[in-house]
Structures are given as structure tokens and as C-alpha cells.
Amino acid sequence: MWLNKELVTDSALYSYRKTLSNSGPRHVVIDNLFDSATLDAIVKVLQQDSGWQTQKHTYSALYVDNAKWQKTRKKNRFVQRDAWQRPAPEAGSNIALEFLAFLRGDEFMSLLSRIFKVQLTDINVAKPDINSNYFRLGATDFVNQHADDSPGREVCMLLYLNKDWHQGGGGELVFTGVDDKPVNIAPLYNRCVLFDPSSPGSEHFVKPVTSENTQRYRYNVTSWYWSE
């Protein structure tokens, strides 16, 4: 239901591992990894105006309130974006919620473990659910340069859900890269980026969404994974 089986064969995984070993930072871009019809259904849920809440991080503190945000100098603000709010239990499940559960399930974590040759697990993660979620960026939002290399964090996954995203629309992921060679990755639909957050050059930021896309959002899933 979730994965494109042709892209998770042994030969495909061998190719991903080879790409990881030859890239700086250690990353691999996989297009069409997931079933497109399933992602289409997820996008319909995400495009509803309800269920989103603005999230703000500074370099010194995460999830800051508006009062602290206003007191923080602009150069010390690194994230302003909307985060998807999971529906209340009584609302029942939906395809978007089920997909987040899949991303933290045994099948997908086993796949990532094979690609990165490290055993991933949530056994010591206090709140696994908050480590996989949907985010959206508008023209006034931003994700400035930062690192995701928390202790024990082995893999970061980004999955883009932007249909018909046009060149010049902004929103590209940019790794600082190595040897002064940044890596730019467009947020194309069903494009999955997997990377090692501790590898050299893995600090990254997102280019601003341009004014041409003011009425649109840049959607993605972000998911972080740990070893034991």
C-alpha cells in the first residue's frame, strides 16, 4: 500500500548504499519511493485549512511562544513554519495519520536500517510520534541553516508533497556540502531525501518560497530516526 516495491529491491538498496558512500553529505534522493495514489489522498487531508499550528524555534530554544519570539533578534530565529496537529482520538484515524504510523513502523525502519547499515529503533525514544510529522511553509516562513545531529540520531528523512511545483518557486533544500560545494534539492512531489545528520556538510536550510507561490504552501514530511 505504501511503498513502490520496484524501488526497495536488493539491487535498489545496493545502489542507495553506493550513493551514500560517494556523496557529501551522506545522502540519497529517491523519487517515487511511495505509492502516488496514497500520497494524493494524504495531500487532500493536508490541504484543509484546519489542523495547522504555527511553530517557532530559535537557536537557543525550541517551541517558543510569541512573547519570547518578539524578544529574539531575527538572526537568532531559525524556524517559522506550520506543523500539522494530529486529530483527537475520538475523531478516528485518517490516511495522513496512518502514513505517519507507517513511517515509524517495523517495515519502514527496517528498510532504512538496511540502507544505512545501522539498527534503527524507537525503544529508547520517549515520544516517537513527535519525530514524524507534516510541515508547510508559506512565503513569509523560513527554515534557516541548522544541523540535525542530535546524539544517537542516525537518519533524517524528508518527503515532499508538492504537486506541480515549478522551477523558480523557491523552497529548495540546500545542504552546505563539502569543499564549498552546496547541494540543492528541489521539493518535487514524492521525492524522498535520506541523509546522515552527522556527516560533514549536512547542515542545511530551505530557500524561501517565492512571491509567485504566495497563495501556495510547500508541504513535506520530516522524520528522524535513532539507533539503540
Contact indicator for 53, 65 with CB cutoff of 8 Å: no
Mean pLDDT by 10 residues, the chain (228 residues): 95 98 97 97 93 95 94 95 89 90 96 97 90 94 94 96 84 95 96 97 94 75 94
Determine the pLDDT at residue 6. Answer: 96
Cis bond upstream, residue 25 (ω within 30): yes
Contact indicator for 105, 185 with CB cutoff of 8 Å: no
Domain that holds residue 133: 5-226
Task: Give the contacts of 108 (CB within 8 A, at least 6 positions apart).
Answer: 2, 3, 102
Determine the pLDDT at residue 213. Answer: 54
CA distance 28 to 111: 14
- Look at residues 133, 104, 136, 151 and name the one whose alpha carbon lies nearest to residue 219: 136
- Look at residues 80, 88, 126 and name the one whose alpha carbon lies nearest to residue 226: 126
Cβ neighbourhood burial of 197 (10 Å; 0-12, 13-18, 19+) = buried
- Look at residues 219, 159, 226 and name the one whose alpha carbon lies nearest to residue 197: 226
Contact indicator for 191, 159 with CB cutoff of 8 Å: yes
Query: For position 38, which CATH number holds?
Result: 2.60.120.620
| Domain total in the chain | 1
